[in-house]
Amino acid sequence: MKNKVSYRFAYVLLLLIIGNTFSLFSQQIDTVEVYSPKMNLEVKNVIILPDGYDAQSDKTYPVVYLLHGYGGNHLSWLKTVKPTLPQLATKLEFIIVCPDGKNSWYWDSPVNPKSQYDTYVSNELVSYVDDHYKTIQSPKGRAISGFSMGGHGALWLTIQHPDVFGVCGSMSGGVDIRPFPNNWEMSKVMGRYADNKSLWDANTVITNVDKLAGIPLIFDCGQDDFFLEVNENLHKLLLTKKIQHTYIMTSGEHNAQYWNKAVEWQLDFFAKFFSLEKSN
């Protein structure tokens, strides 16, 4: 396995954010390149550690994996959506991991061997984080969520790997991909819809909801979001099947302003899950 390179900004990150202003954070943020044997490439990730992480040698932490949307990268969460993630990591005592998922939709692509991000996130990255950080190494200590493409990805990876992620969420997620066959380069990952309908059916969240039964789930969507209908349909299907979940539909569009507030609901939900698991 190739060497993994870490660039650490110890306890201080000077982050450029919208409006050409700066904010100073006193948490520890790593930018880490993790080698993927399956794709034979290095993938960048941001890893946010809570303040005091190094001071408590015996303490282990739950990990929240946050996935970006189409057109984003490992910096999207920290630079564009929620620059205060480091403070939230400290407040809630989480490690937060933001991988670069390219435009993969977090599938293992049947047509592109360089787009195997199901395996990367759920196996290769999780193994790296558990090997290099003080984590709770079980589903009881792992959560996953994301926005847009990343919302689809978070639920999809939980469906595929309930032995890895114990709780999951989605913000404005593309939870049914089939109404959008010509959008967001999905055909480059899954093949053309017209030629691969059964594959698209099998690889969308809404056709696999039975696998979410028993897994704590939160998802949300804004009233003016183009993904509202598919999220409403998911909510109705879960109700019909009596699969427990938390669904929030409120004002908002498909943008960073909405996800900035939505991620706080998600992290609070995860914090309650981790607290309950810790007490059991």
What class, spelled out in words, does domain 5-279 have in CATH? alpha beta
Instruction: Tell me the β-bridge partners of 167.
Output: 143
Residues of the chain with pLDDT under 50: 1-25
Cα 29 from Cα 39, distance rounded (Å): 26
- pLDDT value for 182: 81
- pLDDT value for 8: 44
- pLDDT value for 27: 66
Tell me how crowded residue 262 is: count the other CB atoms within 10 A of its CB. Answer: 27
Please name the residues in contact with 25: beta carbons below 8 A apart, sequence gap of 6 or more.
12, 13, 15, 86, 87
Give the DSSP H or E segment for 278: helix 256-279
- pLDDT value for 279: 67
- pLDDT value for 57: 80
Q: Sign of the C-alpha dihedral, residues 181, 185, 188, 190?
A: negative
Distinct helix (H) and strand (E) counts, the chain: 8, 11
- pLDDT value for 15: 40
CA 155 → CA 17, 77, 242, 275, distances in Å? Answer: 29, 18, 18, 21
- pLDDT value for 118: 98
- pLDDT value for 73: 98
| pTM for the whole structure | 0.90
